[in-house]
Chains A and B, each alone.
Chain A
Amino acid sequence: MPDVTPRAAPRPHGAPDGEPEPEPGPSRQASRTRRRGRDGFGSPGPGELVLRYALLVLVLLLLISPFLWQLSTSLKSLNEDIYTGTPSFLPEQPTLDNYAQVAETIPVWSYAVNSLIVAAIVVLGNAAGATLAGYALARLRFRGAKLLLVGFLATLVLPGEVTIISQYITVRGLGLADTLLGVALPGAIGMLNVLLMRTAFQAIPQETDEAAVIDGATPWQRLIHIGLPNVRGMLSVITIFAFIGAWDDFLWPLIVLNDPENFTLTVGLQYLNGTFTNNPRLPAAGTMISFIPIVILFASLQRFFFRGVEEGAIKG
């Protein structure tokens, strides 16, 4: 990623400036911002550092342990009592039986493939569609541009749920009810993503573009050689979120899909839960099949995500 990030905000990191150690409580947090300088660790005293890490670990446990707990349940064998008041956190004899059994109960792997297909269509559609439209809105003059921009903006005040019924009727009219394409299509170009890409393209200095125009560059050349290299941060955030959004989505595929053969993972999991609740190990294994891939994906791409955040990709 280039260091040309016009919207990058300066972040105050702590560093020593000879201030005395702060008092406990919220003051500790406030005082942190007053220190200035380079990179900033080593600035807090050992006491503050310990307290910070203690709090971080506490929150970590609070936010992560339910997932670990579910993972543990999914690995426990049928012989192990999971209903006692004090179940053990680690499985006594870890087994993958539940994963095999969940696949016998519902076609969980083909559900995962279905989710993947939908997510792939949505990611590709947004990467191409939102980029092109964002670029056109930011940098090209054409008739109706203003009207389109107003249209895109207007969709922002419309929660997706409001039009979901009509959207379903539209998809049904296209003959795509109960198909994966029908699930993927409406989200394949996100209106918000178009606007985000437009903002990113607008942040490129106009002069760079004008210089290229004088040199006789076509719009396509300008998009590829000037535009794209400068919006990689935003593009990566958009595609990461497009994938996560499609993979996690529940309401829309629940409405579109009918045949259990075609379910995506989230709809399949709710189906599993509704039908076979007598053994919690199975839904546990099912949820892990949905959860683990997305977490690995996010963890491996988090650098791009957090860099995009610093560039202003996330405002809400």
Chain B
Amino acid sequence: MAPAALWLLVFNVWPSINTIVLAFTNSRPLGGGRFTGLDNFARVLSDAQLADALLNSIVFMLVCLPLLTILPLLLAILVEKKIPGIAFFRTAFYTPVVASAVVVALIWSWALNDRGLVNGFAQWLGVIAEPIPFLTERWLLVFSAISLTVWKGLGYYMIIYLSALGNVRRELHEAAAVDGAGPVRRFRSVTIPGVRNTMLLVSVMVAVSALRVFSELFILSNGTGGPGGRAQSVVMLIQMYSRGFYGHFGYASALSIVLFVITVGPMLLLLRLNRKAA
């Protein structure tokens, strides 16, 4: 027990307290550390980059939510039945989850860059004359990262649905069938209500992870955050202030608190849903 308690204190409790303390200082990687009151929070309110990042996150979330709540459910239904070879398909569908976001994003950036597969093929077809700037235009960058996130997340949420589908009671389906409900009707009236809690759980998970996005945008923009740094996420800003010449632990901590404030609601909901499911 002792080691875990130590870890809890050193790597969780203390950093949480320290984050709050630091947010009121001008601590930097080298020097600083003077108490500066609410300066960092005043800066938060007028930070154009943060406003950009929050808008990116909201768009990210709004697009990911429906896609990653529904597509993995359909996928889970597809792989639920144990037909020959299904273990292979389930494992294969999970592969993008197992791969590092860095690996996936590097593959994506190779496919989407000006001379990459997508632009090359589209030009060969004659659909476009000039390459589409997937990786060098703000919203195209954000949407490229979204498509990557959806593609990588399908298998993850599929597994969660898969274990939920196992609990949908067979008798209900049978009773409905006896009562003459057609398959569509039963999908709507039995399957969907049976996994409704899981759908809620998944959608909250999707929302939280959209707010926490980092690697996808970082790699696709090659660390730049797109033109003018306008395609950044909140976590990218935190990372940016974590080191180097522009490093500012105090401001990064204030940004961390912003991140906490926007994620704590969904996180609490997630915890409740999880305990209900258990």
Chain A interface (Cβ within 8 Å of chain B)? 9-14, 19, 22-23, 25-34, 36, 39-41, 44, 49, 52-53, 55-56, 59-60, 62-64, 66-67, 69-70, 73, 83-87, 128-130, 132-133, 136-137, 140, 142, 148, 151-153, 155-159, 161-170, 185-186, 188-189, 191, 194, 199, 244, 247-251, 254-255, 258, 265-266, 269-270, 273-274, 277, 280, 283-284, 286-287, 290-291, 294-295, 298-299, 302-303, 306, 309-310, 312, 314-316
- Given known A-B contacts A30-B187, A41-B84, A158-B16, A270 and B3 have beta carbons under 8 A apart: no
- Further contacts, 5 of them, CB under 8 A, given A26-B187, A169-B22, A295-B95: A49-B83, A85-B124, A136-B1, A186-B7, A309-B163
Q: Which residues on the B side are within 8 Å of A129 (C-beta)?
A: 3-4, 7
Task: Report Cα–Cα, A56/B110, bound state, in Å.
Answer: 26
- Given known A-B contacts A158-B260, A188-B7, A274-B223, A19 and B177 have beta carbons under 8 A apart: yes
Q: Which residues on the B side are within 8 Å of A133 (C-beta)?
A: 1, 3-5
Report if B99 contacts A (CB, 8 A): yes
Name which of A29, A165, A254 has the most chain B CB atoms within 10 A of its CB: A165
- Given known A-B contacts A26-B184, A129-B3, A41 and B83 have beta carbons under 8 A apart: yes
Minimum CB distance partner of A164 in chain B: B238
- CB of B159 within 8 A of CB of A31, answer no
Q: How large is the interface on B (under 10, 10 to 19, 20 to 34, 35 or more residues)?
A: 35 or more
- Given known A-B contacts A60-B92, A315-B277, A30 and B115 have beta carbons under 8 A apart: no
Minimum CB distance partner of B258 in chain A: A162
- CB of B77 within 8 A of CB of A165, answer no
Report if B253 contacts A (CB, 8 A): yes
Smallest Cβ distance from B113 to chain A, in angstroms?
A: 8
Minimum CB distance partner of A167 in chain B: B15
Minimum CB distance partner of A311 in chain B: B163
Cβ-neighbour of B242 out of A164, A248, A312 (below 8 A):
A164
Cβ-neighbour of B102 out of A27, A186, A266, A310 (below 8 A):
A266
Cβ-neighbour of B238 out of A39, A161, A266 (below 8 A):
A161
- CB of A34 within 8 A of CB of B177, answer yes
Task: Report Cα–Cα, A49/B162, bound state, in Å.
Answer: 19
Task: Report Cα–Cα, A199/B275, bound state, in Å.
Answer: 11
Q: Which residues on the A side are within 8 Å of B1 (C-beta)?
A: 132-133, 136-137, 140, 142, 148
- CB of A248 within 8 A of CB of B160, answer no
Task: Report Cα–Cα, A176/B91, bound state, in Å.
Answer: 37
Q: Which residues on the B side are within 8 Å of A168 (C-beta)?
A: 242
**B198-213 interface (Cβ within 8 A of A):** 201-202, 205, 208, 211-212
- What would 13 A/B residue contacts be, using CB atoms closer than 8 Å? A29-B187, A33-B168, A34-B177, A62-B151, A73-B110, A133-B4, A162-B16, A162-B260, A165-B22, A277-B222, A298-B95, A302-B94, A312-B278
